[in-house]
Amino acid sequence: MFYLGVDVAKAKLDCMLLDSSNGKLKSKSITNTPAGFVQLLEWLDKQKAGNPHVVMEPTGTYHEAAALALADAGLVVSFVNPAQVRAFAQGLGVKTKTDKQDSTVLAKFGATQKPDAWQPPSQSARRLKALLTRRDAVADDLQRERNRQEANNFSLTPEAVSESIAQSIAFLETELNRLEKMIASHIDNDPDLRDKKDLLETIPGVGPRVAIHMTTLFAGRTFDSAEQLAAYLGLVPVERQSGTSVRGRPHMSKAGPAHLRKVLYMPAVVARRCNPHIKALNERLLAKGKSKMAAIGAAMRKLAHLCYGVIHTGKPYDPKFAA
């Protein structure tokens, strides 16, 4: 069995091919472009590696094109947590850090740990994610311009600057409205996406924005349990205790995508009042003396669990359901 460790950078991919039967290693460096992906596939064919198991770390957006190209070519692709890989490298006694060494560690990690295969999202899910990413970027730009406009109201700003800000706000508002219509139309035209969004919106506290973000997540990734979803989102508590001297306060892991935690925060705050399950959880934690922030973190985690529940069962939210 062959394992291909891929260290991802903006301009290039450093690859290390490991033959697990004899431990031999062969390296290849390619550009992080479609032409480079073709070159890599041709090189693998020359090495008679068959369909190696590809192991890489998710690196912003730079890994996406390579992962999709390799998966579309029939290779098994796995994404691994960088923290796990660092711990694995320390266990191997690796002290140096180079691109070639990192790709070697990834290949060995794949051979020994055999991480789960990544399921590439459908074309429809990819388009929805791209549209949503752009929508959020425009919304952030719009908020920054509105903040500048508010600040300018309290300062002696030239009229030309005020007009420029007003024109920018008008353009961004139009573009945001256009993107939101495109997203709504795309979801409506895809039965699977539409059904997921409708199910999610049956949960008290989950509005259209949260429903769209979670629909995009569920369309692009598969989760085996609600706990796995919460762990991916970085919503699980992490404890730090050892012996009698170390008694660290539990804190949220925050190991997953920060933008999804940001999206879930205010809905969780609202759900503490309008969602029966989360309201009961919140009251129970506060009665035990937990802080309000800890209760909100638990509410975010519970909201994620409920999102998984309606998608997994294919049934609308039931306020009378008891786990």
pLDDT along the chain (323 residues), means of 10: 94 95 94 96 93 90 92 93 90 89 95 92 92 95 95 87 95 97 97 96 95 94 92 83 56 82 95 94 94 93 96 93 59
- Which is it for strands 53-56 and 76-79: parallel, antiparallel or unpaired? parallel
What is the DSSP code (8-state) at residue 32? S
What predicted TM-score, i.e. pTM, was given to this entire model?
Answer: 0.79
What residue segments make up the domains of the chain, in order of their start?
2-113, 123-189, 208-313
| pLDDT value for 119 | 87
How high is the pLDDT of residue 155? 84
Contact 196, 215 (CB under 8 A): yes
For residue 149, the model assigns a pLDDT of 93
pLDDT score for 245: 52
Best CA proximity match to 10, nearest among 85, 99, 79: 99
Contact 286, 295 (CB under 8 A): yes
Under the phi-then-psi rule, with left for phi > 0, alpha for psi from -120 to 50, and beta for the rest, what region is 74? left
pLDDT at 246: 47
Tally Cβ neighbours within 10 Å of residue 281: 18
Looking at domain 2-113, its CATH class is alpha beta
Q: Are 264 and 303 in contact (CB under 8 A)?
A: yes
